[in-house]
């Protein structure tokens, strides 16, 4: 294995269909019109030295190194900013060019440290490479004059350092911050010789608006910006391409290694989801894999009040199997179940549901998608025919209008947010429907045309009002509806939304938005011509989550914005493998590929393959498992890679359910919050330690490659396999690829997927089968999966979680850029420098009414429970609305949330909780007790001498 | 609050929750019109509810069905008939 070096073509591809022929160094070359000479040369295998140019950024023309001669033209034009022209004859290597380039490089070198041995990048420093390539052997200028050698380093960012002495002010990283990331945190301060890179208003990287995406570090051609891990460990010596284990964007990374040690994670240019970009989490927050908190040995205990006892794998597995069989013997076959993880691979997820169905003998398997995107599955399946987003991410480049609802992409899906911002800067229009003024509403060079700051819980109402405008103002794409959708269903829907009670004027007071704004947004969406919907958990995590997804599907069908590039209905998935865990049959009513367990033919297929009869009845969903536990009929649970105590709503109910069980098995990297209630702990492996696949939000299946041996001894699927064997249902896989082969045999939409195919294509979007051997980037082209698109009526039903005198405010919850989900991974990295506690956002007016000031401790109470945290007074939230994150167990925000849930799927209503906020002086009694419980239940008994 | 106390304090009554959920589901299918709400609700319950949940709501109907809306009641009655028919 060696280090992967991607080819840098110098400037982006032109994307023109018309071709231009020219001559470069005597060779005839044909490239798309508007291609730069620099790129044309690179594509022809002719390398022109360059410094300020890189193919992820627009040409800049400042370094004066990539000069060429063109016959018949005067001067030495920069090849990066000079487009090709028909018939021109270009020379890239002449004596004149060599002399000029060498002179330019000598000037750069004159103000650059010449300590080659102490340069952290060593041979990878582009400046040194170019100097060598132009033949620079000496620098005639001394160091007595004015230089930048003494400029102070900026080491404020925990992940990378900036050394101005090594900066050549080529602006690559300033442009990366602008063009690639879209944050505009960097600039060039000063003029002439005094020019220098500045983060924010020269306030240092940590204190500036920099979001630590790493684009600048990647773009820097010298060692001015460099990862601290490279400074500490030296340059990596080999790379392994793998897939990020954070959000649903699914960025491809090169894990750059020294032996089994990760030196850095660098976004892979060929990654089709991220195209070489990254965010702070994927780029830098991988250190948790080596954190001292990791548990590497299995542990058991009789009671959750006992200290943990380390045991061998054999004992832990045998004990678990014996306990589950004992429980089933006592309480019945349906008294145990499992929870699959959206953080684990498709293969691991598939195996857990197979374990439950085949070895437990029931269908009590569910996944954390239950509490996030299960309404997406229901809503899209019942309207379009399949439970997945309709587009690839690249589709956004063709969108003219984006409707973002209940999503905060700059925090939760930052790499895709950068794509969105790039398209918005290019002229696309934006509608944001969200109770909060999320960053996308107004961020550098991006401003939403309309922001509808709806009252939490009124999504369906406002979507019906938008539909009302579309129908009553004649904005329906009638040809599309006539050809592609069920006519009668459309007629009934149109009649429903056209009723006066669904007009913006009637709905405006309900959702707290100016009716004129709703009308304008509706007209913009309908006008398109390409309008794309992007949504997140602000849509699904409601008592009408499924209805909201249906309403979005209705809008797309009514306006013909489905079935081609630039349009569609796009769920932004929270965790890395939410789509995959759903695809793999993790829901209690479905086998892989979303086929109902009651379907005899499908069941027969699996029964033949698995050689065991399957139960035809749906199993328990996660919330129903807790109900059944409290009722005494569900007593054993195997949880792989989830922390339901912290992530699921109504913590009191979750913990009551777990406390009632007789055997809770947690398989995880850390003793998470759920492990407090566990009787068996099975150490998990990180994404760096396993082979498998993740499926991102655009249905893209990508390989996860093992870069180091599992520190716990086993990949997670191997642990599941051992457990199955101990239960008397032996499995015989020797590699994750064999599990994928089985998935492909049993799942029509995955029929063409294999590790070999993924190696060949890089990635593939399902359906991938005989009809679509290279996958399906855009779905429903020419026809819906279900045949005709189906409109459903979306009657607005207000949630029963109501504000009143005791609980007058509405709480909504969400995520922040630097932390991820329950924070188990990111809290164990330096990301906590940016966010070390959950804060309660409260509007200044609500704060003043309660005598609350910035940073004060406040008690947040609902009908379900109370917790305390510090206040952040901000106008990002509207009066009457408060907001917090759920990343920190000390806050345990889900103590507040209730057990109200989506009517169709039981997806919890995280986004609407009636609360009161009052000043307090510290943590609540419950928090103090919980903290004590955490200490008591995490005790590990010392190993005995005999062991 | 200890786990035991937490369990005791949990004010969740599974049956109340099932009744609430059945009414929610029935509400959606009622809104679709067409006179099939009872059948559609019953189908939904059959496809997504685990058997012990269905058994509990059927037993609740047999005990009077307090709290069940008309459509939910009709749906559970269909489940009951189907269960009796085997």
The pLDDT-based confidence of B5 (bands split at 50, 70, 90) is very low
For residue B72, what pLDDT is reported?
Answer: 97
Q: Are both A588 and A732 inside the same structural domain?
A: yes
For residue B4, what pLDDT is reported?
Answer: 42
What is the per-residue pLDDT across A99-137, written as a single tens digit (0 to 9) for each? 999 999 999 998 888 776 778 887 788 999 999 999 999
User: Residue A653 domain-assigned?
Assistant: yes
- Least confident range of A104-108, A459-463, A802-806, A926-930: A926-930
Cβ proximity of A267 and A294 under 8 Å: no
Asked if residue A710 has pLDDT above 90, the reply is: yes
**Residue among A492, A627, A655 whose CB faces B14 most closely:** A627
Q: Are both A622 and A695 inside the same structural domain?
A: yes
- d(Cα A30, Cα A372) in Å, to the nearest integer? 50
B10: nearest CA partner in chain A:
A653
Q: Which helix (H) or strand (E) holds A284?
A: helix A280-284
User: Residue A943 domain-assigned?
Assistant: no
- Least confident range of A1-5, A42-46, A129-133, A808-812: A1-5
Asked if residue A946 has pLDDT above 50, the reply is: no
Asked if residue B1 has pLDDT above 60, the reply is: no
Q: Are both A70 and A181 inside the same structural domain?
A: no
How far CA A605 is from CA of A361, A611, A770, B23, in Å, comes to 16, 10, 19, 36
Contact residues on chain A for B48, CB-CB shorter than 8 A:
589, 618, 621, 904-905
Q: Are both A218 and A354 inside the same structural domain?
A: no
- Domain CATH code at residue A826: 2.40.40.20
Is residue A30 reached through a cis peptide bond, with omega within 30 degrees of 0 on the bond before it? Answer: no
Contact residues on chain B for A630, CB-CB shorter than 8 A:
7, 10, 12, 14
Nearest CA-CA distance, residue A927 and chain B, Å: 9
Q: Are both A686 and A544 inside the same structural domain?
A: no
- d(Cα A304, Cα A317) in Å, to the nearest integer? 18
CA angle A186-A187-A192, nearest 5°? 150
Strand A261-267 versus strand A252-258 pairing type: antiparallel
Cβ neighbours of A834 (radius 10 Å): 16
How far CA A763 is from CA of A276, A695, A775, A776, B29, in Å, comes to 15, 9, 9, 11, 40
Single residue among A571, A604, A635 that ends a domain in this structure: A571
Asked if residue A509 has pLDDT above 50, the reply is: yes
- DSSP letter (8 states) at residue A390: S
Cβ proximity of A69 and A90 under 8 Å: yes
A660, A664, A900, A903: best to mutate for the B interface, most B CBs within 10 A: A903
Q: Which helix (H) or strand (E) holds A228?
A: helix A228-233
Nearest CA-CA distance, residue A606 and chain B, Å: 19
Which ranges in A591-735 belong to alpha helices (H)? 600-610, 622-631, 644-647, 651-660, 716-726
- Least confident range of A65-79, A678-692, A880-894: A880-894
What is the per-residue pLDDT across B28-81, written as a single tens digit (0 to 9) for each? 999 999 899 999 999 999 999 999 999 999 999 999 999 999 999 999 999 999
Asked if B50 lies within 8 A of A652 by C-beta distance, the reply is no
SS3 assignment, position A596: strand
How far CA A151 is from CA of A191, A812, B50, in Å, comes to 16, 46, 68
Contact residues on chain A for B52, CB-CB shorter than 8 A:
334, 628, 633
Asked if B24 lies within 8 A of A304 by C-beta distance, the reply is no
Q: Which helix (H) or strand (E) holds A881?
A: strand A881-885
Q: Are both A598 and A700 inside the same structural domain?
A: yes
**Is the CB of residue B36 less than 8 Å away from at least one CB of chain A?**
no
- d(Cα A49, Cα A58) in Å, to the nearest integer? 17
Cβ proximity of A81 and A61 under 8 Å: yes
The pLDDT-based confidence of A944 (bands split at 50, 70, 90) is low
Nearest CA-CA distance, residue B70 and chain A, Å: 17
Q: Among candidates A339, A939, A941, A292, which has minimal Cα distance to A667?
A: A339
Nearest CA-CA distance, residue B32 and chain A, Å: 6
**Is the CB of residue B5 less than 8 Å away from at least one CB of chain A?**
no
Structure-token match 């398997």, residue found? A365
A366, A378, A645, A652: best to mutate for the B interface, most B CBs within 10 A: A652
For residue A480, what pLDDT is reported?
Answer: 98
Asked if residue A727 has pLDDT above 70, the reply is: yes
For residue A173, what pLDDT is reported?
Answer: 92
Q: At what angle do helices B37-48 and B70-85 cross, to 10 degrees?
A: 60
SS3 assignment, position A269: coil
**Residue among B6, B46, B49 whose CB faces A655 most closely:** B6
Asked if A627 lies within 8 A of B12 by C-beta distance, the reply is yes
The stretch A623-629 carries a mean pLDDT of 94
For residue A602, what pLDDT is reported?
Answer: 97
Nearest CA-CA distance, residue B34 and chain A, Å: 10
SS3 assignment, position A381: helix
Q: Are both A359 and A457 inside the same structural domain?
A: no
Give the total number of structural domains in chain A: 5
Q: Are both A364 and A396 inside the same structural domain?
A: no
A794: nearest CA partner in chain B:
B31
The proportion of chain A whose per-residue pLDDT surpasses 90, expressed as a percent, equals: 89
User: Residue A390 domain-assigned?
Assistant: yes
Contact residues on chain B for A929, CB-CB shorter than 8 A:
1-2
Asked if B14 lies within 8 A of A659 by C-beta distance, the reply is no
Cβ proximity of A698 and A393 under 8 Å: yes
Tokens of A551: 């309403």
Mean pLDDT, chain A, integer: 95
A378, A550, A618, A923: best to mutate for the B interface, most B CBs within 10 A: A618
For residue A445, what pLDDT is reported?
Answer: 95
Q: Are both A398 and A440 inside the same structural domain?
A: yes
Q: Are both A411 and A504 inside the same structural domain?
A: yes
Cβ neighbours of A816 (radius 10 Å): 19
Q: Are both A623 and A760 inside the same structural domain?
A: yes
Nearest CA-CA distance, residue B75 and chain A, Å: 15
What is the per-residue pLDDT across A428-439, written as a single tens digit (0 to 9) for each? 999 999 999 999
Cβ proximity of A82 and A94 under 8 Å: no
Nearest CA-CA distance, residue A601 and chain B, Å: 16
- d(Cα A693, Cα A763) in Å, to the nearest integer? 10
User: Residue A397 domain-assigned?
Assistant: yes
Q: Among candidates A290, A525, A549, which has minimal Cα distance to A428?
A: A525
Instruction: Give me the count of residues in chain B.
Output: 86
Is residue A529 reached through a cis peptide bond, with omega within 30 degrees of 0 on the bond before it? Answer: yes
Q: Are both A361 and A388 inside the same structural domain?
A: no
Cβ proximity of A910 and A649 under 8 Å: yes
Asked if B52 lies within 8 A of A547 by C-beta distance, the reply is no
Q: Among candidates A890, A883, A891, A889, which has minimal Cα distance to A910?
A: A883
Nearest CA-CA distance, residue A622 and chain B, Å: 12
Asked if B14 lies within 8 A of A628 by C-beta distance, the reply is yes
B22: nearest CA partner in chain A:
A903
Q: Among candidates A156, A132, A134, which has minimal Cα distance to A225?
A: A156
Structure-token match 């350092």, residue found? A161
Contact residues on chain B for A488, CB-CB shorter than 8 A:
none
How far CA A264 is from CA of A115, A293, A818, in Å, comes to 24, 21, 18
- d(Cα A426, Cα A465) in Å, to the nearest integer? 29
Q: Among candidates A746, A717, A743, which has minimal Cα distance to A732?
A: A717
Contact residues on chain B for A621, CB-CB shorter than 8 A:
48, 50
Tokens of A494: 């149109």
Domain interval for residue A247: 160-290
**Is the CB of residue B85 less than 8 Å away from at least one CB of chain A?**
no
Residues 6+ positions from A118 with CB-CB distance below 8 Å: none
- Domain CATH code at residue A129: 3.10.20.740
């Amino acid at each position: 294995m060696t280090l992967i070096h991607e080819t840098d073509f110098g400037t982006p591809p032109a994307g023109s269909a018309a071709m231009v022929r020219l001559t470069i160094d005597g060779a005839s070359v044909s490239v798309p019109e508007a291609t730069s000479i620099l790129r044309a040369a690179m594509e022809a295998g002719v390398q022109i030295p360059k410094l300020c140019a890189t193919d992820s950024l627009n040409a800049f023309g400042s370094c004066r190194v990539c000069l060429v001669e063109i016959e018949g033209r005067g001067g030495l034009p920069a090849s990066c900013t000079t487009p090709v022209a028909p018939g021109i004859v270009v020379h890239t290597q002449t004596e004149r060019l060599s002399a000029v380039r060498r002179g330019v490089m000598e000037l750069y070198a004159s103000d650059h440290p010449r300590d080659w041995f102490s340069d952290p990048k060593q041979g990878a420093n582009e400046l040194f490479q170019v100097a060598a390539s132009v033949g620079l052997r000496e620098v005639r200028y001394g160091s007595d004059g004015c230089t930048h050698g003494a400029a102070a380093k900026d080491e404020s960012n925990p992940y990378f350092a900036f050394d101005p002495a090594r900066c050549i002010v080529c602006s690559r990283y300033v442009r990366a911050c602008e063009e690639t990331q879209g944050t505009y945190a960097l600039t060039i301060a000063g003029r002439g010789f005094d020019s220098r890179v500045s983060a924010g208003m020269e306030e240092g990287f940590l204190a500036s608006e920099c979001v630590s995406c790493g684009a600048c570090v990647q773009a820097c051609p010298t060692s001015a910006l460099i990862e601290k891990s490279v400074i500490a460990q030296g340059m990596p010596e080999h790379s392994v391409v793998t897939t990020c284990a954070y959000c649903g964007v699914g960025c491809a990374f090169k894990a750059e290694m020294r032996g089994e040690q990760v030196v850095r994670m660098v976004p892979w240019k060929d990654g089709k989801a991220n195209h070489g970009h990254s965010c702070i989490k994927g780029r830098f927050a991988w250190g948790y894999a080596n954190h001292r908190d990791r548990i590497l040995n299995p542990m058991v205990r009789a009671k959750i009040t006992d200290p943990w006892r380390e045991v061998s794998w054999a004992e832990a597995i045998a004990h678990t199997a014996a306990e589950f069989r004992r429980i089933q013997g006592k309480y019945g076959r349906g008294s145990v179940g499992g929870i699959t993880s959206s953080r684990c691979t498709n293969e691991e997820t598939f195996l857990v549901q197979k374990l439950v169905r085949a070895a437990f003998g029931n269908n009590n398997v569910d996944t954390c998608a239950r509490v996030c995107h299960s309404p997406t599955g229901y809503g899209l399946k019942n309207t379009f025919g399949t439970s997945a987003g309709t587009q690839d991410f690249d589709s956004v480049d063709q969108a003219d209008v984006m409707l973002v609802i209940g999503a905060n992409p700059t925090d939760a899906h930052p790499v895709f947010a950068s794509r969105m911002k790039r398209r918005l800067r290019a002229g696309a229009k934006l509608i944001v429907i969200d109770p909060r003024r999320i960053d996308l509403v107004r961020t550098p060079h991006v401003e939403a045309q309309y922001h509808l700051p709806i009252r939490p819980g009124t999504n369906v109402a406002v979507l019906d009002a938008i539909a009302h405008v579309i129908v009553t103002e004649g904005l329906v794409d009638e040809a599309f509806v006539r050809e592609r959708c069920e006519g009668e269903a459309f007629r009934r829907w149109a009649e429903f939304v056209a009723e006066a009670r669904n007009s913006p004027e009637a709905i405006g007071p309900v959702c707290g938005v100016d009716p004129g704004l709703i009308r304008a947004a509706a007209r913009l969406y309908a006008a398109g011509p390409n309008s794309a919907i992007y949504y997140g958990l602000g849509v699904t995590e409601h008592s009408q989550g499924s209805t909201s997804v249906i309403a979005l599907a209705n809008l797309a069908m009514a306006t013909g914005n489905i079935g081609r590039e630039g349009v569609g209905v796009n769920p932004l998935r929270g965790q890395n493998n939410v789509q995959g865990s759903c695809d793999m049959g993790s829901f209690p009513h479905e086998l892989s590929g979303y086929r109902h367990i009651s379907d005899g033919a499908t069941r027969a297929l699996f029964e033949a393959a698995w050689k065991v009869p399957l139960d035809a009845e749906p199993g328990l969903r996660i919330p129903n498992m807790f109900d059944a536990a409290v009722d005494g009929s569900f007593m054993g649970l195997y949880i792989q890679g989830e922390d339901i105590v912290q992530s699921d709503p109504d913590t009191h109910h979750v913990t009551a359910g777990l406390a009632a069980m007789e055997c809770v098995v947690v398989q995880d990297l850390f003793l998470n919050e759920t492990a407090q209630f566990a009787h068996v702990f099975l150490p998990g492996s990180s994404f760096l330690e396993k082979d498998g696949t993740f499926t991102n939000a655009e249905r893209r299946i990508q390989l996860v490659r093992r870069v180091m041996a599992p520190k716990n001894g086993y990949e997670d699927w191997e642990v599941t396999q051992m457990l199955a064997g101990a239960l008397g249902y032996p499995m015989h896989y020797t590699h994750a690829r064999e599990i994928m082969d089985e998935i492909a045999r049993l799942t029509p939409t995955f029929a063409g997927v294999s590790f070999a195919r993924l190696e060949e294509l890089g990635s593939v979007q399902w359906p991938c089968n005989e009809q679509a051997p290279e996958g399906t980037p855009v779905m429903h082209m020419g026809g819906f999966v279900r045949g005709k698109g189906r409109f459903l009526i979306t009657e607005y039903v207000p949630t029963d979680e109501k504000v009143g005198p005791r609980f007058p405010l509405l709480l909504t919850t969400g995520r922040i850029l630097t932390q991820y989900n329950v924070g188990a991974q990111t809290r164990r990295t330096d990301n906590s420098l940016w966010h070390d506690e959950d804060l309660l956002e409260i509007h200044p007016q609500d704060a003043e009414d309660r005598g609350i000031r910035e940073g004060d401790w406040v008690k947040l109470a609902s009908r379900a429970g109370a917790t305390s945290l510090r206040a952040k007074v901000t106008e990002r939230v509207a009066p009457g609305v408060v907001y917090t994150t759920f990343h920190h167990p000390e806050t345990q925000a889900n103590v507040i949330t209730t057990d109200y849930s989506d009517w169709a799927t039981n997806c919890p209503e995280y986004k609407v909780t009636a609360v009161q906020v009052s000043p307090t002086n510290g943590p609540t009694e419950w928090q103090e007790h919980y903290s004590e419980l955490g200490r008591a239940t995490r005790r590990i008994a010392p190993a005995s001498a005999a062991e | 609050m200890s786990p035991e106390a937490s369990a005791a304090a949990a004010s969740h009554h599974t049956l109340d929750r099932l009744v609430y959920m059945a009414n929610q589901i029935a509400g959606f299918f009622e809104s679709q019109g067409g006179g099939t709400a009872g059948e559609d609700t019953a189908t939904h319950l059959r496809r997504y509810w685990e058997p012990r949940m269905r058994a509990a709501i059927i037993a609740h109907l047999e005990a009077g069905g307090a709290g069940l809306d008309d459509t939910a009641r009709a749906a559970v009655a269909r489940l009951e008939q189907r269960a009796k028919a085997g």
